[in-house]
Amino acid sequence: MNLNAIKIGIIIFLLAAVVVIHHLPIHGFLGKHILHRELFFFPIVMAALWFGLKASLITAVSASIFYAQFFYHNIDSSRISIAVVGLQVTGFNLMALLTGWMVNRQRRQRRERDFLNETFGKYVSKAVRDEILGGRVTLNGELKEVTVLFSDLRDFTRLVETTPPREVVTIINTYFKSMTEAINAHHGLVLQFIGDEIEAVFGAPVALEHHQQWAVDAALEMRTRLSRVNLDLANQGFQPLQHGIGLHTGKVVAANIGSTQRLSYALVGETVNIASRIQELNKDFDSDILISAAVRQGLERCIEMHPLPPVPVKGILEPLNLFSINPTT
């Protein structure tokens, strides 16, 4: 017997017990059924707390029928009137409505909160999610120093043109799932998927110490995970994937941005543009992870990398000093 069946049995038993007590020949104060009618509220409230509005109304209607039926056959106008009985029956149903509505409302809010937690948890780590949902960070706009990560698949357009759509979706979702897990594991936030590109941030909306190190560690894990993804894809008969990752540290404006119909948490500023350009430069240097000097300066431990010649970038006054992380790192 499951728990709900036991609860239903308890409610029925209480309702039956009150009906029996209600019909006992009790004299004096209790004989006026002051206590009897109050006892009917117990099964009504229990039904509401355990099962919600529908069950509480069913119990209230049942209690009303039993209560009214007794006075219909045993009416004594000198002690109680039809109006009093009607008022009491109304009280039963009002109690059921109020309690059941409150319980249903709380359950709906809990389901919505759980759904939000579960959905939000797919995009951020548990720690970041809890900070945001707990109201301990602002989403209305703030200037923050962060590390921005861009990742882009190589030759994916050609793959799309030569692969059935269903298989393309399988491949891209497999890749995104694995890369997102790597980013989340290092306290990053995936901001958006743009075609076959991933944009992520470390240090927003929740401040993160040593965000440069966390971002580089995430990029290294993404490299490792890509090998595993390619192994899985090879077992399914698909060609291996290659990607390029670019990292840059700087100031951004971080906020909920959009229209009244749709908002998204986004970053605005030159730092974002530079990170995207760095990711694209992987093609020129035949590399898979490039970081800026600003990222390198914030690292907490030594990582094998080699410097590249300063690179002029359109829209940026000073050439970028970049470093390529060794493939064996």
Domain 138-325, classified CATH 3.30.70.1230, yes or no = yes
Tell me if 137 sits within 8 A of 131, measured CB to CB: yes
H/E run at residue 92: helix 82-120
- Percent of the chain scoring above 70 in pLDDT: 82
- Per-residue pLDDT at 1: 60
- Per-residue pLDDT at 120: 58
Report which DSSP code applies to 2: -
- The domain locations on the chain are 3-120, 138-325
Say how far residue 229 (Cα) sits from the centre of its chain: 26
Count CB atoms within 10 A of the CB of residue 229: 22
Read off the pLDDT of residues 75-118 as tens digits, 9 standing for 90 and up: 554 455 666 667 777 878 888 888 889 888 888 888 767 766 66
Cα separation, 217 vs 103, whole angstroms = 46
CA separation, residue 255 to residues 14, 20, 166, 194, 315 (Å): 55, 64, 35, 19, 24
- Percent of the chain scoring above 90 in pLDDT: 40
Read off the pLDDT of residues 167-204 as tens digits, 9 standing for 90 and up: 999 999 999 999 999 999 999 999 999 989 999 999 99
Cα separation, 305 vs 328, whole angstroms = 10
Q: List, in sequence order, every residue forming a beta bridge with 200; answer none if it has no partner.
A: 149, 190
Cα separation, 299 vs 286, whole angstroms = 23
Residue 196 one-letter amino acid: D
Read off the pLDDT of residues 300-321 as tens digits, 9 standing for 90 and up: 899 999 999 999 988 788 899 9
Count CB atoms within 10 A of the CB of residue 41: 17
